[in-house]
Amino acid sequence: MAAHIEKVLEKAEKYVQENKKTVAVAAGVSSAALLAAYAYRRAQTAVPARGPFPVGTLPADAYDAVIVGAGPSGSVCAYYMSRGGAKVALLEKETFPRDKYCGDAVCTPAIRILEDMGVLQELVANNEAHFADAGGFVSPNGTSYIGVSKQKLGQAACCAVKRINLDVRVAKNAARAGADLKENFEVSGATFDKSSGLWTVTSASGAVVRGRVLVCADGATSRLATKLGYCTEPPKGVCTRAFIEGGTHNTNFDGVCFYPKWSLPGYAAIFRHPNDELNFCYYLIPCGKDGYCGDVKESDLARLHEDAIKYDPFISKSIGPNAKIERMRAASLRLGSQGLKTSFDDHLLIIGDAAGHIDPYTGEGIHTAMMGGKAAAEAILAMRQTGDYSKRSTKQYEAKWRQLYGHDFWMSKAFAEVVYRCPILLDAVASEMQRKGDAMMSKWAEIMTNMQPKTYFLRPHVAIPLGIAVVREFVEQKVLGTKKDKYQMLPKDK
């Protein structure tokens, strides 16, 4: 073998000696191509070192940034900007405390940001956060597993916090850091003056605020981003919420997702809050190019929500017959940057739900909103140092959020479609949990809460066992018929 290799090397050396000019040209062309590619990449990602609007040019009555919307993304952005020495106006159309309808699940990346801000400590001290430990899911054929993931992960994968408590604490924390929080400021319009490099933001009452950067953080429907022409269609996702009074239900877990086959890739979930209160929510997740998969439509949401409480064999049992449940409320979800032309432009950023920064499979958006808000703050603070706010500089924000979580959106969209077409995949995951216990449950929790990207499914040590589990599940369900479908709606006359 060694002799063979030596002969090959001798032939190669002989070829080089005989064709020195050809080899030199080829090497030169290759090097030039590599250098050109490197130079092009640097040019595309380069941020101007100096711009026309250094810090000293900001008028006394103007702000470095005007943030429209004091939800998690806007308030986190305002906090980190203020902490970095910038002058920030944070505009909120309502007066705190105010509610927001969602699943209330705060995943690990958001927990870390809240801890850094000092908000998590406030939530815990006031008994406003419940950390999940006992959790799991019920698959489309009724295979279920509830385990304890906290011990395996070393931390809770998520906690439940009511938005009426979360949003006010994050916003007030931003104000304490130095942001100028203006409540009851309903934005009616915004115009940009190129010569001064300033946005003028007006309210319905006639109030005016000016700033160097406009940050749209006004939620999934984003009237402002729509009015400015950046958002081209309404949100396609939707979810419900209904709180259940503590002590009136049968639930003994912290969080479980239910995947009835008739609404895939959508799902229902129950999350436990402090004081034994529950949040029951139902998500309709769009998939494919035309919106919802199968026969499910947005108009079916109320029926699915109510039928799940009364007739779903697993949900109705968990809730029980005597539960005191509030009236259903609903909210729109803009998933995976759906309908957005861009998240940045000259002197402008779009963040959080307004930018569609919601996971296209889970429908979770609090953690991505906070991560994106912090990324936006870092980008604006960097621009403040250079004085350049053109697209060449604001694009660094998009690079940040894509690196943090946006790179995973395509996989989440693909996974939603796969789950709709092959629900047996979720059956296999649940069966694998039953076989392997909390070790498998913790892997699933990591992926669903953004501790690991969805591409984690493609890693050999996960993909191979999961592939074997899918084959096993197919054989048991379709070939041998030993595993029956246990997920059937209860008769409506009972």
Phi then psi for 201, rounded to 5 degrees? -110, 125
pLDDT value of residue 10: 65
Percent of the chain whose predicted confidence (pLDDT) is above 90 = 77
CA triple 293-298-303, angle to 5 deg: 105
Q: Cα–Cα distance between 130 and 114 in angstroms, integer?
A: 14
Tell me: the pLDDT tens digits for 154-180? 566 799 999 999 999 999 999 999 999
Cα dihedral 272/276/282/285 (nearest 10): -10
User: What is the rounded radius of gyration, in angstroms, for the C-alpha atoms of the chain?
Assistant: 26
Phi then psi for 486, rounded to 5 degrees? -100, 0
18 has pLDDT over 90: no
Phi then psi for 314, rounded to 5 degrees? -95, -45
How do 267-272 and 255-258 pair as beta strands? antiparallel
How do 62-68 and 88-91 pair as beta strands? parallel
pLDDT value of residue 183: 98
The one-letter code for the residue type at 405 is Y
pLDDT value of residue 48: 86
462 has pLDDT over 90: no
User: Which has the closest alpha carbon to 399: 47, 113, 88?
Assistant: 47
Phi then psi for 428, rounded to 5 degrees? -65, -40
The one-letter code for the residue type at 54 is P
Residue 400 contacts residue 371 (beta carbons within 8 Å) = no
Instruction: Give me the DSSP letters along 67-136.
Output: EE--SHHHHHHHHHHHHTT--EEEE-SS-SS----S--EEEHHHHHHHHHHTHHHHHHHTT--EE--EEE
Helix (H) or strand (E) holding 257: strand 255-258
b/e sequence 91-122, b meaning 16+ C-beta within 10 Å: bbbeebebebbbbbbbbbbbbebbeebebbeb
Q: What average pLDDT does the segment 263-286 reach?
A: 97
Tell me: the pLDDT tens digits for 281-335? 999 999 877 677 778 889 999 999 999 999 999 999 999 999 999 999 999 999 9
218 has pLDDT over 50: yes
Q: Cα–Cα distance between 121 and 177 in angstroms, integer?
A: 16
Tell me: the pLDDT tens digits for 63-78? 999 999 999 999 999 9
The overall average pLDDT reported for the chain is 90
